[in-house]
Structure 1
């Protein structure tokens, strides 16, 4: 009897936890990719989805504004979640600094748009309201990217 009650309680808690997670996804927030940068690149090619790299820092006030206003906008989030893989790059970490160096990031926040073959399309520096950023991404989403060449590569 005790085992049945515990089993039912476990199932109920599991169901409740699953329900909460579904609600968060439906709540209108951008879903950020949870794996590594290399996994993101592979997933993008597999799903044929373009990538948005969000370069940010904990001390960056416009980055926090982008998080609270732009990425939390339900209409923007629905569009982004359907059409892109989004990856947050914290430049305060060694991995984040390495990725930022690859794309010559010099201001925060900066969003870098890559096509589904991981080729560079465009970048957006600074804070952007959701309606404007959505319009810009819609214009550039279908463009074919090119290899990103750093100034160091040109000088060598």
Structure 2
């Protein structure tokens, strides 16, 4: 039994390491063309209502790529055979990135017309890069279901968050916390970790987490702060202040707070 548990832990650690390696490959070698996550509702509006004039995308976003590879009608490999599917995704990526061909694209044919012609990446990626990229796309949904908090630091760009909030039609939720805050840790464990909370957050909010021991609140929120952690500030997508919620909350009460601000 112990050997089985250790084997499972090893596999999980291997996949997590490979996912992070694949994420680094994507960020370092692909992100200049492919933007990060954009809400699916916004993507649909962009392409099918605004003819790409809203976002002006020249290539699919990372979540569009993950969806196309894993879930679209043109998905790669057999979902019931994970090991073989990893190999098939790896081979597809090698084939397409070395010799891009629109006729071999797995993207929606109705939106291909908006994209620039992709240049070849021949010689830019190693065999390990392709393996890690394949695992990155296979694990993308899993590692992006959790709380996606943007950590605030001295280099924080407020304009970038406002642009992201507008593009994705989301509110901004600023979470004032501290590593020594017992009730913050309690909320992280008992509230933020719950699927229902995560879905509401990911769909409707950009979550900004501020360690008050190290950094200052963004968007001129200091005047509303009562030096209590946790504290939550809700802003609209122009970063205009709406409400403050002080203290720790149960899952039910926090869900009510999130829903209350959507009305």
Query: Normalised by the size of structure 1, how large is the TM-score?
Result: 0.73
User: Structure 1: how far apart are the matches of 2:186 and 2:251?
Assistant: 11
| SS in structure 1 at match of 2:149 | coil
| 2:97 is the counterpart of 1:11 | no
- Asked if 2 retains the 8 angstrom alpha-carbon contact of 1:55 and 1:100, the reply is no
| SS in structure 2 at match of 1:95 | coil
User: Structure 1: how far apart are the matches of 2:169 and 2:227?
Assistant: 29
Query: Normalised by the size of structure 2, how large is the TM-score?
Result: 0.46
Match of 2:240 in 1: 119
Match of 2:207 in 1: 86
Match of 1:108 in 2: 229
| SS in structure 1 at match of 2:207 | strand
Shift of 1:61: 0.5
Q: Of the candidates 162, 165, 170, which is equivalent to residue 49 of structure 1?
A: 170
Residues 97/78 of structure 1: CA separation in 2 closer, same or farther (3 Å cut): closer
Q: Of the candidates 147, 156, 164, which is equivalent to residue 30 of structure 1?
A: 147
User: Structure 1: how far apart are the matches of 2:171 and 2:219?
Assistant: 21
| Gapped regions of structure 2 (runs ≥ 5) | 1-124
| SS in structure 2 at match of 1:53 | strand
User: Structure 2: how far apart are the matches of 1:24 and 1:49?
Assistant: 21
| 2:139 is the counterpart of 1:20 | yes
- Asked if 1 retains the 8 angstrom alpha-carbon contact of 2:228 and 2:246, the reply is yes
User: Structure 2: how far apart are the matches of 1:18 and 1:126?
Assistant: 38
| SS in structure 2 at match of 1:40 | helix
CA RMSD between the two structures: 2.5
Q: Which runs of 4+ in 1 moved over 3 A?
A: 6-10, 94-100
Match of 2:262 in 1: 141
- Asked if 1 retains the 8 angstrom alpha-carbon contact of 2:170 and 2:237, the reply is yes
Alignment length (residue pairs): 135
Higher RCO, Cα 8 Å, sep 6+: 1
Residues 14/47 of structure 1: CA separation in 2 closer, same or farther (3 Å cut): closer
